[in-house]
Amino acid sequence: MNDIRGRFSKPLDKSAVTYTSSLPIDWRLYKHDITGSIAHARMLAKQGIISDDEAKTITGGLESIRDEIEQGKFEFKSEFEDIHMAIESRLIEKVGEVGGKLHTARSRNDQIALDMRLFTKEAISKTVDGLKELQRALVDKAEANMNVVVPGYTHLQAAQPVLLAHHLLAYFWMLRRDVERFGDCLKGVDVMPLGSGALAGVAYDVDRDFLARELGFSQVTRNSLDAVSDRDFVLEYIASASISMMHLSRLAEEIVLWSSAEFDFIELDDAYATPSSIMPQKKNPDVAELARGKTGTVYGHLMALLTTMKALPLAYNRDMQEDKQGLFDTVDTLLSTLKVFTGMIKTMRIRKENTIKAVERGYILATDLADYLVRKGETFRNAHDIVGRLVKYAAEKGKSFTELNLDEYKKFSSLFSEDIYSITIESSIAARDVTGGTSLKQVKRALAEAKKLV
């Protein structure tokens, strides 16, 4: 390959070569780089900038290089600073000087912008697939446990009874918003930058619309300066991934709590838990714990790229080389977390006997008692105070609501009568028969809707 350091009198220092090289990271873009280069070669031939034979030679060489990389036969030489130069150098080795024509009407600036968009489009597709697989696992687990009741919590204090299916579907809807968010992200990335050159456009009669069609983009960029310096689409992916990881981290926290001896609502399959190195009885929810930890790493990638981009003048600056590692790791982290969570949810066992015990402990029907008094004509604020004092009395006596006799109830309000004993866990669940509520009827309706969405 011809030396592109023509105006320089000495080679780059070896330490500088190592420092500036992105090849150990951006080699992952080889497929996208070759795809873009093949489309570019075809466009050059279509426009008469190179001949059809030259385009065929270049295209054949690029396809051969792709095979070499995928077969593990390609040598990633340390002297090349990125995947683009490595592929171009190998192309010239294989097809001769005609390979040097590939870079006509193109800069590495718009080339890398294209590669990153192609990579991100692919990542979004895989991410949405992963989100939907986890959604299906949640729907299946909810449907298989339709009649299981668990305590619903606020402030991690037992508050009101809810169906477990209702609780699991809360995460379904979080993931649904993630799917929609990545759909919005796709709109931002689905713009073709090739033809922008280094910053000012190219001085050739290129057909950018042809390139967009060849590469599956819905439109082309409108400003060459913006096209080569834009990484909003990377930020949007990482930001969307950060929110998604936050949702998964919340689910992870509940899995950690629910699998503990103190809750004992679920048992994780052995394939998704680990033993202790010294305590034989332990079954640690390491997968869930790692997801919580990895969430912070993804947040860090978002802040790092925001900081990198915050003060860059137009157009391209080498700082932007730092966009890849954070994006790649974010994609890998999110996809792997979605996959492992899907398996973990599918295989976890619900301990129904323990969830109902937890519901029966304490005074989880207190709100239902207050609602009972309201239906008898009391104001809610007064009813709240009455039931609060009733709870205090029952706790001091060491009695549950069902163990209090009617005379004890009437000490707090004359509105209490025998029908107070008709308030049960089942009646509490059934009473929440509003859209989005936890009644069996509403949860069945929500499950039907969820199934259609995935």
List, by residue number, the catalytic residues.
Answer: 155, 276
Query: Which one, of 445, 452, 424, lies nearest residue 146 by Cα?
Result: 445
Helical residues (DSSP H) of 279-415, grouped into ranges: 286-309, 323-347, 352-360, 366-375, 380-397, 406-410
Contact by Cβ (8 Å): 27, 80: no
Cα–Cα distance measured from residue 256 to residue 208, given in angstroms and rounded to the nearest whole number = 52
Cα–Cα distance measured from residue 50 to residue 44, given in angstroms and rounded to the nearest whole number = 6
3-state secondary structure at position 266: strand
Residue owning tokens 């998964």: 248
Backbone angles phi, psi at 328, to 5 degrees: -60, -45
DSSP 397-417: HT--GGGS-HHHHHTT-TT--
Cα–Cα distance measured from residue 453 to residue 183, given in angstroms and rounded to the nearest whole number = 14
CA–CA–CA angle 15, 18, 24 (5° rounding): 170
Q: Which secondary structure element, helix H or strand E, spans residue 1, and what is its range? A: none
Cα–Cα distance measured from residue 239 to residue 140, given in angstroms and rounded to the nearest whole number = 29
Secondary structure of 146-193 in HEC code, one letter for each residue: CCCEEEEEECCEEEEEEEHHHHHHHHHHHHHHHHHHHHHHHHHHCEEC
Question: ω before 271 within 30° of 0 (cis)?
Answer: no
| 8-state DSSP, 278 | S
| 8-state DSSP, 378 | -
Q: Which secondary structure element, helix H or strand E, spans residue 87, and what is its range? A: helix 83-95
Q: What is the dihedral of CA 34, 37, 39, 41, to 10 degrees?
A: -140
